[in-house]
């Protein structure tokens, strides 16, 4: 097996992976950097983020305000030292991106423009029309081409981490094009491989968001943190889950039920604000968890609109006018017309909540380090945690940048800590084991399970039991089902026996990743007997700071369900309080 020796190997080449690679290259041009991804960098799902990236830049804003919005938005499950680091670094990272050419939207005087976003008390979301993630990703990718020390391995699927002497020393990866295994030896590994939204049937996430990076770390012994917190974005197109950005509401779009009522006022986010004059942190600019939960209640009351794609509410943007929609929300208009046949300039758009983001992920400290020495993580696959129980829109694009860079700096510190030489024979043996597991999939005939069949059962049970509202009973059933599916996974068979670009094999490996992530999420949710942020239990309706002002840590077992431990949340200056999104007192 070919061995590729590098100083730092990065898994994933989206926003966080690219930012880490650039930070490494800038810190020391002599570092050998391997940027390894199962897709070409510009295909990474960062490209689909629309609304923008939060960072304090305007004179009416302050770091304290960003801190308070983030911590309250996260229902006090955020680690406050991490949030503090994040908000401090955020403006620098966004300016850095501007210096690299990111085409941010501008004010008439040429300074960067900001827009309102849900749960934010001040306008602080930098945006590039409604393709912010796309522009961030392409700016980073194009900038990365400046640095010859960043060696890309495009379309390589990482299969296992190599761990010896108590530290991560690389990984094995399958070159998708040839089907050949490679061994990557690295002083440090950074995982930046995105979320796992694809474990649900209805999601804004692209096909590649299968939790591979999370599963890699998890199987190697690093715990997954707060996996039970899954964000539903309130406004997805009902037929295919395509995201309509929160910017729609930031610019003044309103949500209506079938009676034409702005129903958010009935769920603690009123009183109603004038149409077309959005008021920050109230009504349509409430946080995503509250908005998605309100939809569920409207559905229970029969107030939703029946469509051929199921129950919906209406996102009305007509009053914004064609000019503003074209300038600020051109992609939203294009997507609505193309995929739903409806023009937001002319009619309200039916929408419903859709799985969007994993707040949970690989447990890291404030320096992006996992408990496994030599292993670092950043972006959606990681849980620092700045997002707590509910991420505020536009914090995650900034998070990619801040913690992508942070992971790179930590990796350098690790390299400089004087690492003992690797035992090549031990790593080679592990790599052979990993290759053997792939070979066994090829060799197996007469499988009893289909990949698409198991996948759809997994998605179904996640939606049934671990959706917007959950119960102990439903979660127990989902946990049981997932345990069964993990067992049955052993019965799958790869029908495609070709080595070259074998997507049958890819889908089998991705399903394995998702099943592990899904089980961690379901077990975490079952055991968290409270309601907080995006985790809402019908049988434990209140937040319980006594018992659960804690992060959950899920530890992997190949055959048994995840083992859950708890870790105290870091509170520095904001004691848990009431999340108030009513406009009444303001």
Partner 1 sequence: MSERQIQLEVLRYNPETDSEPRFQTYSVPCLNEWVVLDALNYVKDNLDTTLSYRWSCHMAVCGSCGMMVNGEPKLACKAFIHEYGDQIRVEPLANFPIERDLVTVVEDFIAKLASVKPYLIPKEDKPVSAGEFKQTPAQLLTFKQYTLCINCMLCYAACPQYGLVPEFIGPAAIALAHRYNQDSRDGGRDERQEVIASHEGVWECSFVGACSEVCPKHVDPAGALQQVKVASTIDWYKEHLMPWVKK
Q: By the criterion CB under 8 A, which residues form the site for partner 1?
A: 39-40, 42-45, 47-48, 57, 92, 95-96, 98-101, 103-112, 131, 134-135, 138, 142-143, 145-146, 154, 177, 206-208, 239-240, 242-243, 308, 331, 335, 338-339, 341, 450-452, 494-496, 498-504, 507
* Pairwise CA distance, residues 238 & 257, whole Å: 15
The residue among 334 and 560 lying less far from partner 1, judged by its C-beta, is 334
**Helices 503-527 & 472-488 angle (0-180, nearest 10):** 150
E strands, 98-229, where? 114-115, 125-126, 150-154, 156-164, 167-175, 180-191, 224-225
| Nearest approach, Cβ of residue 311 and partner 1 (Å) | 16
Buried b (16+ CB within 10 A) or exposed e, 318-336: bebeeeebeebbebbbebb
> Is 249 annotated as catalytic?
yes
Residue 264 or 345: the one with the smaller Cβ distance to partner 1 is 345
Closer Cβ to partner 1, 452 or 487, answer by number: 452
Catalytic residue among 19, 115, 124, 233: 233
Joined together, the tokens standing for residue 201 give: 């049937």
Contact between 459 and 241 under an 8 Å Cβ cutoff? The reply is: no
Q: Kindly tell me which of 110 and 446 has the beta carbon lying closer to partner 1.
A: 110
CA distance 222 to 168: 11
The CA dihedral of 80, 83, 84, 88, to the nearest 10 degrees, is 180
- Alpha-carbon distance 239 to 309, whole Å? 6
Distance of closest approach, residue 518 Cβ to partner 1, in angstroms = 19
Q: With respect to partner 1, which residue has the nearer C-beta, 240 or 432?
A: 240
Least distance to partner 1, CB of residue 371, Å: 31
Q: Give the Cα separation of 429 and 410 in Å (integer).
A: 28
CA distance 335 to 243: 9
Q: Compare residues 132 and 282 and give the one whose CB is closer to partner 1.
A: 132
Please state, in angstroms and rounded to a whole number, the distance separating the CA atoms of residues 222 and 107. Answer: 45
Contact predicate 90/398, CB 8 Å:
yes
Q: Work out how close the CB of 191 gets to partner 1 at its nearest, in angstroms, rounded to a whole number.
A: 19
3-state SS assignment for residue 168? strand
The active-site residue out of 182, 198, 249, 328 is 249
Residue number with CB closer to partner 1 (46 or 293): 46
Q: How far is CA 569 from CA 218, 279, 381, 457, 575, in A?
A: 21, 31, 19, 34, 11
Q: Distance (Å, rounded) from C-alpha 536 to C-alpha 538? A: 7
What is the 8-class DSSP label of residue 535?
A: B
Radius of gyration from C-alpha coordinates of the chain: 23
Where does 312-353 have alpha helices with state H? 321-328, 330-340
The bridge status of strand 382-383 relative to strand 230-236 is unpaired
Distance, in Å, from the CA atom of 318 to the CA atom of 234, rounded to the nearest integer, reads 19
| Nearer to partner 1 (CB atom), residue 46 or residue 422 | 46
Residues 519, 82, 48, 581, CA torsion sign: positive
Q: Least Å distance between CB 9 and partner 1? A: 20
CB of 150 to partner 1, least distance (A): 11
**Peptide bond before residue 327 is cis, with ω within 30 degrees of 0:** no
Is 319 catalytic? The answer is no
CB of 160 to partner 1, least distance (A): 23
Minimum CB distance to partner 1, residue 398 (Å)? 15
> Residues with catalytic annotation?
233, 249
């Amino acid at each position: 097996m070919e061995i590729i020796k590098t100083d730092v190997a990065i898994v994933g080449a989206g926003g966080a992976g690219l930012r880490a690679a650039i930070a490494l290259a800038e810190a020391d041009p002599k570092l050998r950097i391997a940027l390894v991804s199962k897709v070409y960098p510009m295909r990474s799902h960062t490209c689909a983020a629309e609304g923008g990236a939060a960072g304090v830049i305007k004179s009416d804003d302050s770091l304290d305000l960003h801190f308070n919005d983030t911590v309250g938005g996260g229902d006090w499950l955020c680690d406050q030292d991490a949030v503090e680091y994040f908000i401090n670094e955020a403006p620098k990272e966004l300016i850095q991106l501007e210096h690299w050419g990111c085409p941010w939207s501008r004010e008439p005087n040429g300074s960067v423009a900001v827009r309102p976003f849900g749960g934010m008390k001040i306008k602080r979301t930098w945006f590039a029309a409604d393709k912010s993630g796309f522009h961030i990703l392409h700016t980073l990718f194009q900038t990365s081409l400046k640095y010859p020390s960043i060696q890309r391995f495009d379309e390589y699927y990482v299969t296992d981490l190599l761990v010896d002497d108590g530290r991560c020393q690389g990984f094995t990866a399958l070159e998708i094009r040839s089907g050949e295994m490679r061994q990557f030896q690295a002083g440090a590994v950074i995982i930046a491989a995105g979320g796992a939204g694809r474990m649900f049937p209805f999601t804004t996430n692209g096909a590649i968001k299968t939790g591979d990076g999370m599963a890699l770390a998890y199987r190697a012994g690093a715990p997954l943190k707060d996996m039970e917190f899954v964000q539903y974005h309130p406004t997805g197109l009902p037929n295919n889950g395509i995201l309509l950005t929160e910017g729609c509401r930031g610019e003044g779009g309103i949500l209506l039920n079938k009676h034409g009522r702005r129903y958010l006022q009935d769920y603690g986010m009123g009183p109603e604000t004038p149409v077309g004059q959005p008021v920050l942190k109230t009504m349509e600019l409430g946080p995503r968890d509250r908005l998605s939960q309100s939809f569920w209640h409207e559905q229970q009351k029969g107030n939703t609109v029946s469509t051929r794609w199921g129950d919906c509410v209406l996102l009305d943007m007509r009053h914004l006018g064609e000019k503003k929609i074209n300038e600020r929300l051109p992609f939203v208009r294009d997507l609505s017309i193309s995929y739903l046949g409806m023009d937001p300039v002319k009619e309200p758009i039916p929408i419903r909540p859709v799985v969007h983001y994993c707040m949970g992920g690989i447990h890291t400290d404030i320096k992006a380090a996992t408990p496994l020495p030599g292993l670092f993580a950043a972006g959606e696959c990681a849980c620092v945690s700045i997002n707590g129980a509910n991420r505020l829109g536009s914090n995650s694009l900034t998070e990619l940048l801040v913690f992508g860079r942070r992971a790179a700096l930590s990796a350098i510190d690790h390299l400089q800590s004087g690492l003992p030489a690797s035992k090549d024979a031990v790593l080679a043996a592990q790599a052979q084991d990993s290759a053997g597991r792939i070979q066994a999939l090829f060799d197996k005939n007469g499988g009893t399970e289909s990949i698409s069949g198991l996948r759809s059962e997994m998605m179904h049970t996640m939606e049934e039991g671990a959706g917007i509202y959950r119960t102990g009973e439903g979660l127990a059933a989902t946990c049981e089902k997932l345990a069964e599916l993990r067992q049955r996974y052993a019965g799958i068979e790869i029908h495609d026996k070709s080595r070259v670009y074998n997507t049958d094999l890819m889908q089998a490996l991705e399903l394995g990743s998702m099943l592990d992530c899904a089980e961690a999420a379901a077990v975490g949710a079952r055991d968290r007997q409270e309601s907080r942020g995006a985790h809402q239990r019908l049988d434990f309706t209140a937040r319980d700071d006594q018992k659960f002002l804690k992060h959950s840590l899920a530890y992997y077992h190949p055959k048994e369900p995840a083992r859950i431990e708890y870790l105290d949340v870091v509170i520095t200056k904001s004691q848990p309080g009431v999340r108030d999104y009513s406009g009444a007192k303001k």
